[in-house]
Structure 1
Amino acid sequence: MRKIGFYFMVFYAFLWINIGYYKMFDNKSIFKEFIIVGFCGTPALQYFFFFLLLLTFLLTLFCNFMVMIITSTERCLYTPMYFFIRNLSFLEVCYVLSIVPKLLGTITLHGRVISFSGCITQLFFFFFLSSTECFLFGAMAYDRYLAICHPLHYTTLMDSYMCRNLTIGSIMGGFVTTFPHIILISQLPFCKNNVVNHFFCDSPPLLQLACADTYLIDLIDFYSAALVILTSLLVTLLSYTHIIATVIAIPTQQGRSKAFSTCCTHLIVVSIYYGTVIFMYVRPKVSFSFTLNRVVAVFYTIITPILNPIIYCLRNKEVKESVRKRLPFIICYSSM
């Protein structure tokens, strides 16, 4: 029965993708291309941002690929926690690859042009990967809750089947909450102008270019974001509330300090990510400037993907030892 249910979900997703694919790019807009604003400022400042972003992009890919390789090959890291971290690193790689290369291309005038289909595709992957990551954060918090609050039953409750189900559920949840409103956006007529006032194809600046009533799409966008963000955030906060209550009861000062250190660093990433995403998508439609939106978007598109492998994994003693064995010429956060 479990396999039948899984195959049914796959078939359902495949059917939605095929129906939506033909609807998505069957658009009667005047503009068939968009121009992304990208970097602003003087040429010198633009090149500074370009090289800074390129360095951050390469470092993000390196750290996340290293985490994926190490957690896949070291037998001591074959645990549910590192299974989720490996999936999170894979998501982060896909996430930055869907946004940053095109952003780097906006340093040139020709690189700022993106086709209609390319823009909608980027928008889909951005929302899909973001939603999946939110659900995965919730799954990771639940895993830590079971490990700390129910250690005797942890191996029974969080087995390989449960890990796979939570991961697949995160992916399906990200798809179901993303695909419908992307289809609706792709059917809008764009005839005001074709300049996207952002550094990638995001929903708010695209809706500003539509010459049709976007009230329904704004509403669906708001409720979809609220459902994804607030649901996963609630699971995360409830899990960490129970974790903190359990940690306080630990008799030794050293044990409490170590547990609190881990919880605090995890909550820092969660706070940055959820705080900026809530500011962008779960708010009334008011006149925030798109310049401010671009600044806020930097945090969840560029900063958190590089923080995640460092905070969730590379500060861990077991992982650092594995990194030293494979990359002996790198001193990996030995003082952290």
Structure 2
Amino acid sequence: MTEEMTQGGLNRRMFMAGTAAVAASVALWPKEMRAQAAGRKFAASLGWTTYDSGRHLQDGFNAAVAELGGELTMTDAGFDARVQSDQIDSLVATKPEALFITPADAVAIAPAVERAIAAGIPVFCADSAVPGAIVTTTAMSNNFGMGQYSCEYICKALNGKGKIARVMLPQNESWDQRTLGMEWTLRRYPEVEIVTEWAFALAGNVSPRQAVDNILTSHPDVDAIWCAWDGAAVEGTLAARAAGRNDLILTGIDGGSQAFNYIAADTPLKLSMAQSFYEMAYLDVFYAHELLAGRNTPRLISTPTYAVTKDMLQDGIPDNFDVPGEAEKMGWSRAL
């Protein structure tokens, strides 16, 4: 079920009966309400549109606006917080009825988000929360839980004993929660030792591939590498192949066809915590319409995450698993 917290602070479980409930709710909207929504003016400031995650977020926003009504102006900051802040200010000047944001660096763009709210524009965030900003709705994954789950997978695969490395993603407060979840899991596995680590920096000169190359050179006996996102896990898999380490275990977080292909091919990448990016974006648009229609909206939504392993990909590589209802058709159950 989708877990939510209302703006009044009350927990609300089972508000939507499974992920298909969003689509079902849309079907129940009166035709006159859809006609009224057709003239809505929306804007979206995306922190990035690259990778499977960015593409699925973009697809979710576009599909929701097309289905629910309205017009959408969209910008892409390319992971540059300064650019995104400027783009938010520019979008606010156009006076949209709602603003959708996917923050690449939530702390850095917080002042721009607060300026949007102060201008009277309701803000809806996807993938990450913006600290200090009272946005209307944030739809995101359980980042702490994803870090826990993927680390647990490694610890069990090593039978509770071994040497691991980690590639972290501290750029965003929400993403950094994955590392905290990983650390919490390790408290129960005292014989699993972190022998080295590397923190990715968007403005840095070292790529994840180079980082994992260095890890395998300095620690050739490492058993597994926990990665805070799939991009690092994929590049780490290439490094493992180059080093002849097909026995290495890597895990990632994000989901999407690129990571799924590596998992299905029985490479060192064994697990991806697949997030529902499409659904995050769709929910933002859905609740923007709800707000504008005078109805209550949830403050926080925890969207489904699927722990994808090779056995789940035997029938092919899905690209629409995060469209509401599609994962269930494939027999997938949410892990978080």
Identify the structure with bigger relative contact order (alpha carbons < 8 Å, sequence gap 6+).
1
Scaled by the length of structure 1, what TM-score is found?
0.24
Higher helix fraction: Structure 1 or Structure 2? 1
TM-score by length of 2: 0.24
| Bigger proportion of residues as strand | 2
Between Structure 1 and Structure 2, whose CA radius of gyration is higher? 1
